[in-house]
Chains A and B, each alone.
Chain A
Amino acid sequence: EDKVVQSPLSLVVHEGDTVTLNCSYEVTNFRSLLWYKQEKKAPTFLFMLTSSGIEKKSGRLSSILDKKELSSILNITATQTGDSAIYLCAPRGSGSARQLTFGSGTQLTVLP
């Protein structure tokens, strides 16, 4: 069975801080890993990673995959209150090619 563990489960920081969110996974024949941000409603897509060591960036957010360590990190620099959300990691393996396995998420709270 595919497994995903995210850490920390929750994190409280102040605006301007930098945070690193972790995702470890075990999936059959890994293909890609996706990060999503979930505020009050639907998860919104952030990044899709397929290759180790290549950083994806979007503004203050960046993510990198380590296939050897079966892990990924999501960094957020200069955090803002609008970054408060649950961040979900979802690897995809070829065993269930159309299915993502979601972690339980990291609840990030950014205080003003």
Chain B
Amino acid sequence: DTAVSQTPKYLVTQMGNDKSIKCEQNLGHDTMYWYKQDSKKFLKIMFSYNNKELIINETVPNRFSPKSPDKAHLNLHINSLELGDSAVYFCASSQQARYEQYFGPGTRLTVT
């Protein structure tokens, strides 16, 4: 069974489009995250979220918005895509913020 899954695995789209990436975890965790990994392999936190609080990294443009229909899902919606948004996006989850995080397989986004 896949613990943290993401769809799609690959996403190629044009500048200006709006797209969403979905994430689901079946670990029963209460906290979920979105990370961006750029071409230099730096993993940077974008959002962390549990059912009580959303924490946004201040460097994330407001074109990015997380949406959580329930505890097991945290989707990432991106408006007006730009070339610089091309990266691999990872979803992760943990049982409370202080414990280890488990990562999904990543979504490679290419904006042309």
Contacts and interface: CB of A to CB of B under 8 A. Distances in A.
Interface of A: 31-32, 34, 36, 41-45, 48, 86, 88, 90, 92, 96-102, 104-105
Interface of B: 4, 31, 33, 40-45, 48, 55, 57, 90, 97-106
A46 B45 CA distance: 19
B43 A99 contact: no
B43 A43 contact: yes
Contacts of A86: 41
Pairs of residues from A and B, 5 with the lowest C-beta to C-beta distance, nearest first: A98-B97, A42-B103, A98-B48, A102-B43, A99-B45
A32 B98 contact: yes
B57 A41 contact: no
B106 A42 contact: yes
B35 to A, nearest CB: 8
A96 B48 CA distance: 10
Contact of B104 (A34, A42, A99, A101): A42
A88 B103 CA distance: 13
